[in-house]
Chain A
């Protein structure tokens, strides 16, 4: 009973603080404090509800238990992280995005092919590509190479579509200007079209970060060596060790946010001139 009352009080307090924050003029501090308070409130309420309603830890372990498990199984988590994120996701991400970028630039000289490629690639980007995972696991074996391969196919098409669209984003006036300078194809590409395509390319890169992690984790459901985040999740679910599952999810969340955040920072540094970045300053 006490736990439930505590949950209600915390909920009320968190709401109160954030409502007051919302009435303050927007600033960096309120922008940061608001979500933090919301997050803390949710976690505390979660803890209280699990105890108060006596929810079985198999269904939903309390955050405190997840934290303990997390701290207690750091070596395992680290091994899984290296296997899935560094070897699987990151390798695949670099190969996939790199290949898509090169193909987009290569096909850029042939407008005819480009017109055909764009709809086909957009179509492919909407397909449940993840279904290729079992096939790629058959082809490349259980280890991280097959995971990287899944990631390559998953990130390839969104990246391709965004790069092709970005390269076509220059206005006729800007291109005419380059013509008046008698700039050749490569000069125009390097000086005008690639910089102009940057926001699109980064959009593709950002979408690809999430897809890369999803691909690497889900591919492990189809077979993997005895390490990796997807492997650990499916094994622990089978053993009803939900605290370990949640610990892996925390790792996935941190890795995903850090990955995305890193790309976003890079974008900020390289495309500070774009309106979408300026308005946020």
Chain B
């Protein structure tokens, strides 16, 4: 709680910088317009104009907020909450790809981590590649995956989910390998003195001990998964999803639309990470790990 005031201060500072930057960036266009219309701009007029242009270089927060409201809440009120122009619809498209990819990536990541922890051959040969692959900008493959999967007749949700899966699977493997190895030598010896089987050691010691690591990687994983889904919507001329909105906005110079898609994506990320953080808090608290 004691952080609320500092956080609010920082947010206010960001907003102030944002409004100021908007004046600076949008001023040339305002001057241009004024010159052509042959009017003299007062300081106040200038500010008012830079904060209310149709296609500003940098839209101000309240313009973006209005656009977001127009494409979400207002449309719900009109009963068209799920129409193709609604951000709720686009968010849902991106969200479903994100969640599907995240679930696949997490399952794959955990399975691989279990294999690496229990099989020395896998540890020796696969683990270095998992780490190395983190240093490679996997996302460069995104457009290719989409096209290739399209060519074999898979389109829609799945190709995007594959990219999400790819991005979210690495943090989970790395985190889970660390987590499953987190019991110290003493705890493992303890299991040995009881002649516990590997399965018993896994379910009763390794898996519970890995929970803090799992949740930490899930938070990274879902953020990465969202990035994957958005990038997956870029190259194909996709018509739905937040990524498609970004791309369409950048084609037509609709900056307000870009920013509203961007902030919606940010809200979506915050929401998903927040949900995981909540589950994490409840679970770890009940397990006595915090």
Q: Is the CB of A113 within 8 A of B10?
A: yes
Contact assessment for B132 and A257 in the assembled complex, using a CB-CB cutoff below 8 Å: yes
- In the complex, chain A residues 201-224 whose Cβ is within 8 Å of any chain B Cβ: 209-210, 213-214, 217-218, 221-223
- Which residues of A line the B interface, CB within 8 A? 15, 18-19, 21-23, 30-31, 34-35, 37-39, 58-60, 112-117, 119-120, 123, 126-128, 130-132, 134-135, 137-139, 209-210, 213-214, 217-218, 221-223, 229-230, 233-234, 237, 240, 242, 245, 248-249, 252-253, 256-257, 259-261
Distance between Cα atoms of A112 and B227 in the complex (Å): 32
Q: Which residues from chain B contact A248 at a C-beta distance below 8 Å?
A: 140
Cβ contact of B3, chosen from A115, A127, A209, A223, cutoff 8 A: A115
In the complex the two chains form, is A260's CB within 8 Å of B143's CB? Answer: no
Q: Is B152 an interface residue (CB 8 A)?
A: yes
Q: Is B161 close to A, CB under 8 A?
A: no
Q: Residue B205 at the A interface, CB < 8 A?
A: no
B129-149 interface (Cβ within 8 A of A):
129, 132, 134-137, 139-141, 143-144, 147-148
Those 3 A-B pairs whose CB atoms lie nearest each other, nearest first: A116-B6, A134-B250, A38-B125
Question: Which among B5, B6, B148, B265 has the highest number of chain A CB atoms within 10 Å?
Answer: B6
Tell which of A119, A120, A257 touches B135, judged by Cβ atoms closer than 8 Å.
A257
A131 touches B262 (CB 8 A): yes
Knowing A18-B125, A221-B235, A234-B143, say if A120 contacts B266 (CB, 8 Å): no
The listed residue (B124, B220, B273) touching A18 by CB distance below 8 A is B124
Q: Which interface residue of B3, B121, B125 has the most chain A CB atoms within 10 A?
A: B125
Chain A nearest Cβ from B272, distance in angstroms = 9
Could you name 30 residue pairs across A and B whose Cβ atoms are closer than 8 Å? A18-B125, A21-B121, A22-B121, A22-B123, A23-B120, A34-B125, A35-B125, A38-B125, A38-B126, A38-B129, A39-B129, A59-B151, A112-B5, A112-B6, A113-B9, A114-B6, A116-B9, A120-B10, A123-B270, A128-B223, A128-B226, A131-B230, A138-B57, A213-B137, A217-B139, A217-B140, A221-B234, A222-B234, A248-B140, A252-B140
CB distance from B127 to the nearest CB of A (A): 8
B160 within 8 A of A: no
Residue of B nearest to A26 (CB): B124
> 1/0 contact trace for B227-243 toward A, CB 8 Å?
10011001100000011
